[in-house]
């Protein structure tokens, strides 16, 4: 897995990348009550706003961690946003992307670096 400074995780799955938020982000948000996911087919550049997540504490924008196209979204989150609190690193993935350049992953943190980052 790779991690961003915005507390997103990325997992390579064949020629796609699965994206979600970390345990740390989930804990900071508190109880998640709403998620707006991107449309499949959406092309994004790294840093573009791609999702909105709302909790009882705050609303946050989720940025695209890499350049590419959204090819699948986790519709289960729309009906049950609390999944993000229950299992943020597995079943509560947000979307899958086909990357423009897989080498962008090399610039992201590995698990040890992310643990150091959140201290």
pTM metric for this prediction: 0.93
Residue 111, in any domain of the structure: no
Distance between CA atoms of residues 97 and 81, nearest Å:
20
Distance between CA atoms of residues 16 and 1, nearest Å:
13
pLDDT of residue 58: 86
Residue 25, in any domain of the structure: yes
Residue 69, in any domain of the structure: yes
Residue 115, in any domain of the structure: no
Residue 113, in any domain of the structure: no
pLDDT of residue 88: 94
3-state secondary structure labels for all residues of the chain: CEECCCCEEEEEECCEEEEEECHHHHHHHCCEEEEECCCCCCEECCCCEEEEEEECCCEEEEECCCCEEEEEECCHHHHCCCHHHHCCCCCCCCEEEEECCHHHHHHCECHHHHHHHHC
pLDDT of residue 93: 97
Number of structural domains the chain divides into: 1
Query: What is the CATH classification number for the domain harbouring 65?
Result: 2.40.50.100
pLDDT of residue 87: 94
Residue 80, in any domain of the structure: yes
Taking 70 as the pLDDT cut, the residues of the chain under it are none
pLDDT of residue 57: 87
- What domain range is 62 assigned to? 2-101
pLDDT of residue 61: 92
């Amino acid at each position: 897995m790779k991690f961003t400074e915005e507390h997103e995780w990325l997992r390579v799955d064949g020629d796609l990348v699965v994206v979600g938020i970390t345990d740390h982000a989930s804990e900071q948000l508190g109880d998640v009550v709403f998620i707006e996911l991107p449309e499949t087919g959406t092309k994004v550049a790294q840093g573009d706003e791609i999702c909105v997540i709302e909790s009882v504490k705050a609303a946050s924008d989720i940025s695209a961690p890499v350049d590419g196209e959204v090819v699948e979204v986790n519709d289960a989150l729309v009906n049950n946003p609390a999944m993000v609190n229950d299992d943020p690193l597995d079943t509560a993935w947000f979307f899958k992307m086909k990357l423009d350049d897989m080498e962008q992953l090399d610039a992201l943190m590995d698990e040890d670096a992310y643990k150091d980052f959140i201290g």
